[in-house]
Amino acid sequence: MKKSGIAKKDRPIKPERDSAYPTKTEIALGLLKEFKVAHSLIKIKGVLADALYGEKAFMDEAAKESGGSQVISQLRKNQNIEYRGRIRSVESYFNSINKGIDQIIRVRGGKEIKVTVSSARLKVSSHSKKRFVIALKYDGENDYRYLVATDLTWRTQDIIQAYTLRWLIEVFFEDWKLYEGWGREAKQLDEEGSSRGLILSLLFDHCLLLHPEQIARIESKLPAYTVGSLQRKSQMDVLLEFITSLLEFPDPGDKLKELGELIKDVFSTDAIRKTYDWQRFRALRANTIIKVLFCWVKVRV
């Protein structure tokens, strides 16, 4: 109706939201409250969130629920700030009045990189209060991103370096969905399936903490390997172990044929129907891998 040009007075009143369908910010605040109750001994120093959560209600409530910790999010470039009694966009302010300077920051306690940074304590119009606003541009980028923080006592560099930790959740999502298969390949759907998949994935992650190479990284106080990289390495280790043991037989080719026939008996390889039967699909894929291995061993022998 807005796109059609219908005036606000002629549009119906926005209906009240059903409490059974909370917003993402409400869900996030609820999870934060649950975490604080379940882990009362952990002191929260910062809450990091992407631009979706860069609104007044979330940032103020998150700071309150986490015991007054620093809450860092992002502003859109067209959001307004107030400077010397004049309202302008955050992009306009940092491009014309407070231009950035080059600095070196440490990303997640490791690699040092060059960034262009500018910062100021400004009143954000939509928040109705003063916030710590930072314009940040990584080396090689053309456009700034704008961070916003609740605690005005922190240094600019501390806020930037703390916010780099937010990317770790993206690493977790990649491991959880892509490498561990808890996304598209989940067998149980809906809310219960999501909860159980998350619990199982965390248990799996804890198991991989005992991986010899992971232990070596932790003992050396180095960043831990991702679950995805450890999983791929474990798969290759198993494959190499299989090939090594296969080559120890007097006739590896015959042994591999025998294994291939065994796999055919275990997995049905009927034609895949239009509605995919994923077990059959994996059986076909496994059989194809066995054939490739057979050809490789035959050439080696």
Region of poorest pLDDT, from 20-34, 37-51, 65-79, 185-199? 185-199
Give the residue from 150, 153, 100, 146 showing the smallest Cα distance to 130.
150
pLDDT of 274 strictly over 50:
no
Residue of higher predicted confidence among 234 and 28? 28
Q: Per residue in 153-206, pLDDT tens?
A: 999 999 999 999 898 888 777 777 776 666 665 566 677 766 777 777 778 777
Residue of higher predicted confidence among 104 and 276? 104
Region of poorest pLDDT, from 106-115, 139-148, 231-240, 291-300? 291-300
In a domain, 35, yes or no: yes
pLDDT of 5 strictly over 50:
yes
Question: Which residue type is seen at 28?
Answer: A
Q: What is the pTM of this model?
A: 0.67
Q: What confidence category does residue 120 fall into, taking pLDDT thresholds of 50, 70 and 90?
A: very high
In a domain, 161, yes or no: yes
Per-chain mean pLDDT for the chain? 81
In a domain, 133, yes or no: yes
Region of poorest pLDDT, from 49-53, 109-113, 238-242, 270-274? 270-274
Give, as one character, the DSSP assignment of residue 17. Answer: P
Q: What confidence category does residue 213 fall into, taking pLDDT thresholds of 50, 70 and 90?
A: confident
Scan for tokens 């903490």, then name that residue: 209
Residue of higher predicted confidence among 21 and 300? 21
pLDDT confidence of residue 147:
95
In a domain, 95, yes or no: yes
For residue 119, the SS3 value is strand
Residue of higher predicted confidence among 227 and 114? 114
> How many structural domains are present in the chain?
1
pLDDT of 279 strictly over 60:
no
In a domain, 87, yes or no: yes
- For the segment 201-228, the average pLDDT, to the nearest whole number, is 81
Q: Per residue in 126-158, pLDDT tens?
A: 999 999 999 999 888 888 999 999 999 999 999
Domain that holds residue 53: 22-165
Domain with 49 in it: what CATH number? 3.90.350.10
pLDDT confidence of residue 292:
47
In a domain, 269, yes or no: no
* % of the chain beyond a pLDDT of 90: 35
In a domain, 232, yes or no: no
In a domain, 143, yes or no: yes
Question: Which residue type is seen at 151?
Answer: D
With left for phi above 0 and alpha for psi between -120 and 50, is residue 105 left, alpha or beta? beta
The answer to whether 123 and 82 are in contact (CB under 8 A) is yes
